[in-house]
Amino acid sequence: MLELPEAFKEKMKGLLGKEYQAFLESYQQERVQGLRVNPLKTDIESFLEEAPFHLKPIPWSKEGFYYEIEDRPGRHPWHEAGAYYIQEPSAMAAAELLDPQPGERILDLCAAPGGKSTHIAGRMRGEGLLVSNEIHPARAKILSQNIERMGIVNAVVTNEDSARLAQHFPEFFHRIGVDAPCSGEGMFRKDEAARGQWSPDHVKLCAARQLEILSNAAVMLKKGGRLVYSTCTFSPEENEQVVEAFLDSHEDFYIEDAGKIPGLSQGRPEWSKSKREELKYTYRIWPQLTEGEGHYLAVLRKKGEISEETVSVSAQSVRDGKKKPSPRDREDEKQFKEMWDQVLADSVGWNLKGKWIFFGEQLYLLPSQMPDIHGLKVMRPGLHVATRKKNRFEPSHALALSLKPEQARQWYDLDSQSQWPIRYLKGETLTLDKEASSHLTGANGWILITVDGFSAGFGKRSSNMIKNHYPKGLRLMC
């Protein structure tokens, strides 16, 4: 059995009573593993027909599936192509309750490493605006990488404190997810660091921080909007009592009854200081009752009618908003269009919604509903499209991952059962096989590499050879 903090065991014994023994015994069991299908890349039916894994549906997630340890999906080429995201099953419940819709403006306030953001983005289908925020720079970088891997085109990654975001986005978002930093009790079965860090004082510190974050999120939510608060801890101080304190100081919010959800238990109103009855409409996931780690979730609604006004940033050229082009601007547009026409099929078109902006020599497409980003710490201002080099533009890896084969001028498919996907992911040069599935124009130049139809990156064709352009920092080492 895992060595749990004695103070934690005494606390849970007092809270759970006769349920405590089953709770304690759950720590002797192997934790379950989960993956979530990426609807931006495939549909669930096709994935289940073709996936080489042993999968079982997760009750509370449409796209979620348990897998067996021996499946090792993290080492399969489909993982690098963003066909799915490996995620702890309980954590999938938050985005389900948030219920994101295409075209909305949505904030994932504590987003790293990206599980909930990529879940939300899949439901948005590339329409609307997703702002994914993470206060810690190193974790924000990982978040950005996962946004890229999953082929997401409408997300902006920020690296901000929630208070500064609140100043920038008053009553802006239709939905907000707050997966708050917590004492991590629900992760004790898989995270030794969480067990070592735990203390009653740490729980109190987390609760104070959670209430502050939740209050800042409230400022950014539109009237009529939905906010989902979640933690991966059991402590009432961080769950029912935080929600209770928030409602006491925010009379314009109420707990929304989202109905019964398979695998999710009701919250524990008796663990709240005032025993507010509506806390029974919040949710808990218990390891002794279901296949998942500990989690708490509450759906909060802001009173009022949601307005239908939109925030729009009109499409602009590579000139980055300048009214009069300079000679270099005109040359940029010419070179960029040359790259664009070589890489993309005619059906993709030249006019995309959004604003073209440069970060240094990197060209991004800022989502059309994102307002001015001046003054914000931005890690990723939308879709990274290309890099400006001397006398040319090169398409980005993010652009490749956002494409379907039919959107590319040329594409070449690698069979995941062959040696070639791994060799590509290691950075090796490829040789064209006439019998392989492909669409080739015969021209040299950029070509989209796919694995079983999932976009994986770019190569550059020269006759029957393809020079590898898979990013060096992502290449497999063994």
Dist. CA 125–CA 100, nearest whole Å: 10
Average pLDDT, the chain: 92
pLDDT tens column, 214-250? 999 999 999 999 999 999 999 999 999 999 999 999 9
Dist. CA 38–CA 94, nearest whole Å: 16
Minimum mean pLDDT range among 131-140, 295-304, 340-349: 340-349
- Give Cα separations from 223 to 167, 215, 218, 245, 303 (angstroms): 17, 15, 10, 20, 6
pLDDT tens column, 92-121? 999 999 999 999 999 999 999 999 999 999
| Amino acid 328: pLDDT | 66
**Is 478 tagged catalytic?**
no
Residue 319 clears pLDDT 50, i.e. is over it: no
Dist. CA 365–CA 154, nearest whole Å: 9
| Amino acid 350: pLDDT | 55
Task: Show the CA angle centred on residue 220, arms to residues 219 and 222, nearest 5°.
Answer: 100
CA torsion 118→120→125→126, rounded to 10°? Answer: -70
Share of the chain above pLDDT 70, in %: 95
Q: C-alpha 80: how far from its chain's center? A: 15
Name the DSSP class of 318: T
β-pairing, 383-389 with 411-414? unpaired
As to burial, measured by CB atoms within 10 angstroms (0-12 exposed, 13-18 middle, 19+ buried), residue 201 is: exposed
Q: Looking at 110, 182, 206, 232, which residue is catalytic?
A: 232
If you average pLDDT over residues 44-68, what whole number do you get? 97
**184: three-class secondary structure by DSSP:** coil
Name the DSSP class of 30: P
Dist. CA 280–CA 269, nearest whole Å: 6
Dist. CA 346–CA 39, nearest whole Å: 24
If you average pLDDT over residues 75-85, what whole number do you get? 97
Sheet strand arrangement including 362-366: 355-359, 362-366, 383-389, 392-395
First to last CA, the chain: 34
pLDDT tens column, 284-309? 999 999 999 999 999 999 999 887 66
If you average pLDDT over residues 187-211, what whole number do you get? 92
Residue 133 clears pLDDT 80, i.e. is over it: yes
Dist. CA 108–CA 157, nearest whole Å: 10
Residue 434 clears pLDDT 90, i.e. is over it: no
| Amino acid 323: pLDDT | 41
Q: Do the beta carbons of residue 302 and residue 223 sit within 8 Å? A: yes
Q: pLDDT grade, residue 316 (50/70/90)?
A: very low
If you average pLDDT over residues 431-449, what whole number do you get? 89
Length of the chain: 478
Dist. CA 75–CA 244, nearest whole Å: 43
Which one of 162-176, 264-278, 341-355 scores highest in mean pLDDT?
162-176
If you average pLDDT over residues 162-189, what whole number do you get? 96
- Which amino acid is located at 41 in the chain? K
If you average pLDDT over residues 86-95, what whole number do you get? 97
Q: Residue 86: beta bridge partners?
A: 35
- Which amino acid is located at 222 in the chain? K
Share of the chain above pLDDT 90, in %: 81
Residues near 232 by beta carbon (within 8 Å), at least 6 away in sequence:
90, 91, 179, 182, 184, 185, 186, 187, 293, 294, 295, 296
* Crossing angle for the helix pair 200-220 and 240-249, to the nearest 10 degrees: 40
**89: three-class secondary structure by DSSP:** helix
Which H/E stretch holds residue 461?
Answer: strand 454-462
- Which amino acid is located at 439 in the chain? H
